A = this chain, B = another copy of it.
Amino acid sequence: MASPESNSAEASDTRDRVIDAAEKLFAEQGFEAVSLRQITAQADVNLAAVNYYFGSKEGLIVEVMARVVGPINERRLVMLDEAESEAGGEAVEVKRILEAVFLPLMASMNESEHSRKVMLKLAGRCMSETGSEMPEVVGRLFREVADRFCAALSRALPHLAEAEVYWRMHFTIGAMLYALNQHETLVLLSNGRVEADDAEKALQELVAFTAGGLCAENVSCGKGAGK
């Protein structure tokens, strides 16, 4: 009768193995595409363990996402705090805001060996899936960071109307997620001119592009202005 979820301190071997396997498989194939039987087979664990430990498949998804995205968002807020206190009362410059968004994600990719592509695709997937495919609980994990960074951007870009800040922040997220999610597509499409696994370069390009987009005053650019 007692729920196994209540004892959080005790480490169950099979419980962790389930989460590890789920993280890997979710990253590779998406939440819906992966079956509990795949997960439990990968974890070398009985099928019923998932419903025993997590209540349901959705419960497992929430657990996995929280473990992956929680630390990243924490570090994002820390970096933004640091930048804001360094700036005193002044607005933080756009470049630093963007780095506070991107760096923690990139860093967590380099932490563990296998986590590189896992985190990458998982993070990308977590927002490319819409509505019903994505438990609302997971969405809530991002609400706080989104609000904080929106406020910071508004201060850094006072020449933009409030709605424009939201638009551009939206585009920024899209650029980042698509870059993560479809990285292989880029490597393939560029015929090797873009190297795989060059996280350094990716971050550099991403910051350059999104900063340029966020700070843009108008669209006149390159060869002469429009007629």
Contacts and interface: CB of A to CB of B under 8 A. Distances in A.
Interface of A: 29-30, 32-33, 90-96, 98, 121, 127-130, 132-133, 146, 156-157, 162-164, 166-168, 170-179, 181-182, 185-186, 189-190, 193-195, 202, 205-216, 218-226
Contacts of A225: 93
Q: Which 6 A-B pairs have the closest CB atoms?
A: A174-B178, A212-B216, A215-B221, A213-B213, A171-B175, A209-B213
Given A171-B175, A173-B178, A179-B171, A221 B226 contact: no
The oligomer's copy count stands at 2
Contact of A219 (B90, B170, B194, B211): B211
Nearest to A207: B219
A122 to B, nearest CB: 12
A214 B222 CA distance: 9
B133 A163 contact: no
A166 B181 contact: no
Nearest to A187: B166
